[in-house]
Each structure stands twice: as structure tokens, then as C-alpha cells.
Amino acid sequence: MANAPVVVLETVQAGFETTPGTPVPATRVVDFLPGTALLKRSIATIAIPRAGSRSGPYQAYPGAEDVEIDVSFDASTDDWPWWMNLFLAPLTTGVLTGTAYTYAQTPSDTIAAIGPSSSAVQSATFEVGGKDAWPSAFQIAGVIGKTLSLTITPEAVWSAKATLMGQITAQHALTGSLSNRAIKAYATGPQTKVYLDSTSGFGTTPLVGRGVSADWSLDLKPASRHTLDGTTTPYRLALPEAYQIKCKLTAEFSAITEYNAWAAKTAQRLRLAYQGAAIGANFHTINLDHGGVWNTLDVVDDKGIWAITMETEQLFDSALSAAVASTTINTLSALP
């Protein structure tokens, strides 16, 4: 992305689109950490040189335009499936079991374009407002996920950062009458378990007392498709290559099992699992499942304790029909 004006945002709100790139009014306030939301807008310059001149170009025109939004937030069971719409798979209503709703989201395994008439992920219209009087509020249509990172430690809430890519930017007033929501359950490290299996299913064997931290990331590798259509904005956004997912896991060393799995490149099934307060017979839950092999393995000294730091290389997993999946349980019948 070319150099662009960066604006610190005070207001971020959004609504899911029916047609990718066709703006809709915002339906929710986006929960984010103050001072961390940024708008980055880039408009390339087409410069025309003047023959025989030492002064350089004498005319300029706007070229390709691109826009990104950075948002940092604490993960919650209310909002995690909403974010997964932008990164994994469209799903706006949950499946009712007792008094709880389940959102099971797995990305399509088919490389596909986003818009103008179909979408492998959900697109959204974002409305953002700057910190100062300039610039005015903006509306960004056709927004999808680009990169998502997540840090899980025993001392804190799941900490996430998303970078989003947009399609069309215009000055636009914010949709009114929206207010902050009361989040019911934030995912915390003390209520998180790590599961690691090779042949059995996901979530079978917990690393009891061993998991120290996890850094999980997803890169959709989207691309702006600029075409000869008389505009500077992208005609559509596309997903032209495989997504990349990684997890760097630190765990106390207890056996040679992981070392042997690294050496043999044995397929691994990793689950990061948060379980919070009860919802009837269920619980507020986020399960992140990830298929892969250990690409790197290091023995480290972690505060006087022998530990291993392992990073995955993703693999297609037959149980997921993908390399990654997210399952969230909450009390929302539909995502606002």
C-alpha cells in the first residue's frame, strides 16, 4: 500500500452488506480499544512529464485508490463470530441448542473473488469518524478482512488486532441512534485451555498445566482488483491465493512427543479453547481449531522452567474440510 494519510479514529461502526461494495447504514458500534483504530487511505499519483523541462512533471491525476482500517479489540463471545464473518465465512444467525446459540464458521476451500455478486466472506460497510474536526466522517464500502492476529496469555483477555481492506471511500455522515453494547463475556487466559492431538479429533487431549501462551494469526491475502471502469477505486476485492494461518505455542516441556512429531512432520490438531459462564446446559465458548505440522521447535528457558516454543505450518484437515475453523457459543440469536 502506498503512503497514505493516517487518521486516528474515535468512532467505528458497521453493517453487513447484501451486495459486496454496495453501502448500507451501520447497524452496530464496533468494540475497539481507544486510540488503536486507524484509517489509512492511499491515492496514487499519475504524473505527466514535460519535455525538455528540468522542473519535472507539469500535470498530475489521481491513480488507483485503496483503503485500510486497523482495529485492535478484546475478543468476546458476542463479537468473535461477527469478526469471523469478515475473515472466515458468512454466518449471521446462530443454531439454537437449549438457551445457547452456536456459530460454526469454516472458510471455503475454493479460491474466489469477492463481489460484485458473490462472496466467500461477508463484506461490510464501515462508518468512521476522525479524532479532530478534519477529516469529516467517512463511509467505506466493501470491507473484508485482511490480517487478524490474536495473543493469548494466562494473565489477560484475548488480545486481537484486525487489518481490514475496503473498496469504496466517500465522505458520509455517521448513522445515528447507535450506542455501545454491553458485552456479556470476554475471553480470558485463565479460562482458556490448549488441546493437542494427532490422530484423534480436535479438543480431545488437553495440555493440562503446560500451555504458557499462544500467538495465532490469519492472513487472507486479499487483492484489490483495479479495472478500466472509469473509476480510481477497486472494481472488487479478490482472494487469489491460499490463506495463511499460523500459531506459535509455548508450553512447558514434559516429554519427547512434540519433538518426535516435529521431526516426523506428523499432522497435528490444535485447539485453543475458551469456556466462560454457563448458558443453561452450555457455556460461553470460543474454539479455534487449526490443522498443521510443527514447522519450528525450540527449547527455551521460560522464567527458570524448560519450555518449548513451536510454530505451525498449516495443513488441510479432513475433519474441518479446511485448515482452520471457529466455533462460538453465545446468547445471540442473530449478529447485530
Q: pLDDT tens-digit profile of 287-317?
A: 999 999 999 999 888 888 888 899 999 999 9
The residue among 142, 164, 127, 178 whose CA lies nearest residue 18 is: 142
The residue among 92, 193, 216, 99 whose CA lies nearest residue 147 is: 216
Q: What percent of the chain has pLDDT over 90?
A: 63
Residues in a beta bridge with 68: 40, 165
Report DSSP letters for 23-61, one per residue: -----EEPP--TT--EEEEEEEEEEE--TT-SS--SEEE
User: What is the pTM for the complete model shown?
Assistant: 0.92
Helical (H) or strand (E) element with 238: strand 236-239
Residue 173 in grid coordinates: 455522515
Residues in a beta bridge with 161: 72, 149
Q: pLDDT tens-digit profile of 268-278?
A: 999 999 999 99
Mean pLDDT, residues 26-41:
93
Q: Lowest-pLDDT range, 8-12, 89-93, 130-134, 204-208?
A: 130-134
Q: Mark out the alpha helices in the chain (DSSP H runs).
A: 80-87, 257-264
- Going by pLDDT thresholds of 50, 70 and 90, the confidence category of residue 8 is confident
Residue 36 in grid coordinates: 488503536
Q: pLDDT tens-digit profile of 147-182?
A: 999 999 999 999 999 999 999 888 899 998 898 889
Would the pLDDT of 246 be above 70?
A: yes
Angstrom distance (rounded) from CA 225 to CA 142:
12
Angstrom distance (rounded) from CA 126 to CA 142:
8
| pLDDT, position 236 | 85
The residue among 259, 265, 263, 154 whose CA lies nearest residue 210 is: 154
> Residue 164: CB partners within 8 Å, gap ≥ 6?
68, 69, 70, 71, 86, 126, 143, 144, 145, 146
Are the beta carbons of 59 and 23 closer than 8 angstroms? no
Q: Which of 16-20, 117-121, 329-333 has the highest mean pLDDT?
A: 329-333
Q: Which of 56-70, 217-231, 266-280 has the highest mean pLDDT?
A: 266-280
Q: pLDDT tens-digit profile of 93-140?
A: 999 999 999 999 999 887 655 544 456 899 999 999 987 666 679 999
Angstrom distance (rounded) from CA 169 to CA 14:
14
Q: Return mean pLDDT, the chain.
A: 90
